[in-house]
Amino acid sequence: MKLIKYIACSLLLLPAFAQAQQEVPVYLDNSKPIEERVEDALSRLTLEEKVALTHAQSKFCSPGVARLGIPEFWMTDGPHGIRPEVLWDEWEQAGWTNDSCVAFPALTCLAATWNPQIALLYGKNIGEEARYRNKTVLLGPGVNIYRSPLNGRNFEYMGEDPYLAGKMVVPYIQGVQQNGVAACVKHYALNNQEVNRHTTNVIVDDRALYEIYLPAFKAAVQEGKTWAIMGSYNLYKDQHGCHNQYLLNDILKGEWGFDGVVVSDWGGVHNTQEAITNGLDMEFGSWTNGLSNGASNAYDNYYLANPYLQLIREGKVGTKELDDKVRRILRLAYRTNMDRNRPYGALCSEAHFAAARQIGEEGIVLLQNNNNVLPIDLSRAKKIAVIGENAIKMMTVGGGSSSLKVKYELSPLDGIRKRVGDQAEVVYARGYVGDPSGEYNGVKSGQDLEDNRSPEELLAEAVAVAREADYVIFIGGLNKSAHQDCEDADRKELGLSYGQDQVIEALAQANKNLIMVNISGNAISMPWVKEVPAIVQAWYLGSEAGSAIASVLVGDVNPSGKLPFTFPVSLQDVGAHKLGEYPGTPRNDGSHIVDQKYNEGIFVGYRWADKQKAKPLFSFGHGLSYTTFEYGKVTADKKTIAPGEPITFTLTVKNTGNREGAEVVQLYISDKKSSLPRPVKELKGFQKVYLQPGEEKQVSFTIGTDALSFFDDGKHEWVAEPGQFETLIGASATDIRSKVAFELK
């Protein structure tokens, strides 16, 4: 009886269910393709709602459409961890207690791993943190090319080579976006210095633009399928990067077919008409009028707010561009906040700390290891002296927008102490005082690093400590304060500040087992290079800095990082400085614009060093190991190829030492003769090979004709010219182990 009643009731209710089902509007219907939902949502929006979608409503958030259940869009820096919350309308801290994160190593370190799998791990982990914190868009990664070692933001980017940066950015994006969080690749494009960053007008030839400055962005769009891109502050062809006809409409959305959103850099918009027509989709601002001052009804004054609405209402502009912007923004919503299959993410998980450590360990570069000073032999060392401010300074606070509030950060000194335990005594001396402050945007490191002793006193103490130790580890470098690897200011010199060179030289006199650990995101000059046996490039490593550094120093981890940029001997060995327009030439027309001509063209980084035959201090791609590798002879599967035909190169690599290790095998292409000037060689392949002691592996690279081509600016297309080429296999750009010639018919 009960069963009959149940069936009867169900039958009666069926039409109501069916009706309820039919009523799910297309824009909310998960089973419908995204583009159909976008069109349906678009058709339901008022003009005011559409315009509102195109600009911020707070420092890091833009509105959704509340009445339709389309969620708000929340942005976060990026790119090394999830930035703490600031107030709705201010840069001050919001004072949340649940917004501490894991700091991952800086992107320079990631690039130094030369391992796309590690980039995927990075993206996945930081994406999970962003997702847990309910973010829609992660403002990163950055792939501006390392043009000058003075650029204050090089630490946030992936080095000097477009191929390497392209290969590393793609998996980072994929990892982030797996979480239903958009990556926002920045700063597109030609943002290669911080000095005059809002007023620099870059003048660069098309070859350098297409061959050097754009390929990593193109890979991010076409291979990484990034859902967002951030326009840059600087100008190109007299238009700001955030509303630039050439970069955004012609290249990004035209040539590359980008279907995501272009987000402005904060305060990077300057003109409503250009913002409407030149490819910008979402405007965000640094101050409440989007530019430089506080204002009432703040966000209504944005260039894409009331001024836009007014132009439409007055009939001065149509809604074609607006609909295109809104379509992209809705697409972003469906890819992120409105994706019902979006995972939940995680914050400060053990796995995230472990990933941060692993990335750091793989990215640390052993630059020099004379007399095999490293790894530290703990069975013999009784006393280890650690000297230098960077051994104790928290590096996750500072540097500008990438500054973080971390759950914890292990300093190098604490990491070394933890690892050494009671196997040896670890003593510390400051050596010099650099930047004792530790605050950014109200986040305080909580450290009191004030020290009023004179440089002479600090030096005397350091030398005395060094004399008595078995090993001396100097940990110095830059520190993310203004002019020391920091947003909005370039460095003032290639050399180290605060008298560090003198301290290092004195330590080298005091103890032959000196190890210099350089913390920076940039090359530095090393006048003491011949006196210091061991030099380690340790980047900004984030939460697990101490553990990663300690494991490399004592040899738990065999270093396998390679430099993603050249260390020049001096600025005169850098094209941007040698050919002399840095930081640019102010115009005398009252416009505040500073022209910056990239006179070196395509000859950036090792391409310049090769051309000038200038021996770098440390080359692009350089990095030593605690074991040794033997390269076999490279062979090609063909002597001649036709256009479009691939060619494969093979060689063996053997670990000839007695511990396991990894070697990054690099493939460079050299065009023997061409109608336009070409670099001596260009990176077109790399592989990180893990080898047990005595193990040998075969390594193969298959390249296509695209790896042989250059951008012909006359024809505006990529051209591979028939003729002779050579493939060079190297352990760095200057350590070429084997070559093979071939011909393109």
What is the contact surface with ligand BGC in residues (CB under 6 A)?
77-78, 139, 186, 265-266, 401
User: How many CB atoms neighbour CB 307 within 10 A?
Assistant: 17
| Locus of tokens 């200057």 | 734
Q: Please state the closest distance from residue 285 (CB atom) to ligand BGC, in A.
A: 10
Name the minimum Å distance from CB 211 to ligand BGC: 25
**Which three-class secondary structure state does DSSP give residue 442?**
coil
Minimum CB distance to ligand BGC, residue 719 (Å): 35
C-alpha 493: how far from its chain's center? 22
Tell me the three state secondary structure of residue 290.
Answer: coil
Shortest distance, position 574 Cβ to ligand BGC, whole Å: 23
Nearer to ligand BGC, 73 or 474 (CB): 73
> Quick one: which of 108, 107, 115 has its CA closest to 686?
115
Assigned token pair, 735:
């350590």
Which residues face 331 on adjacent strands?
A: none
Task: Tell me how far apart the alpha carbons of residues 34 and 586 are, in angstroms, rounded to a whole number.
Answer: 48
CA distance 633 to 277: 55
Minimum CB separation of residue 215 from ligand BGC in Å reads 21
At 275, list the tokens: 């913002």
The residue with tokens 């060079």 is: 728
Q: What DSSP letter does each residue of 591-654 carry, written as one string?
A: S--EEEE-TTTT--THHHHHHHTPPPSB-TT--B-SS-EEE---EES-SEE-TT--EEEEEEEE
Nearer to ligand BGC, 139 or 204 (CB): 139
Residue 711, classed as helix, strand or coil, is strand
Catalytic residue status for 265: yes
Q: Pick the catalytic residue: 161, 265, 490, 671? A: 265
Tell me how far CA of residue 664 lies from CA of 59, 164, 358, 559, 702, in angstroms.
42, 12, 17, 11, 16
- For the chain, the C-alpha Rg in angstroms (whole number) is 27
Query: What is the C-alpha separation between 257 and 663, in angstroms, rounded?
Result: 37
CA dihedral 209, 119, 703, 711 (to 10 degrees): 0
Q: Which of 537, 115, 601 is nearest to 365 (CA)?
A: 537
Query: Rounded distance, CA 63 to CA 334, Å?
Result: 15
Q: Cβ of residue 77: shortest distance to ligand BGC, in angstroms?
A: 5
Q: Which is nearer to ligand BGC, 86 or 545 (CB)?
A: 86
Cα four-point dihedral sign 207, 192, 130, 53: negative
Question: Residue 241 or 564: which CB sits closer to ligand BGC?
Answer: 241
Smallest gap, in angstroms, from Cβ of residue 707 to ligand BGC?
32
Nearest distance from C-beta of residue 193 to ligand BGC, angstroms: 13
Catalytic residues: 265
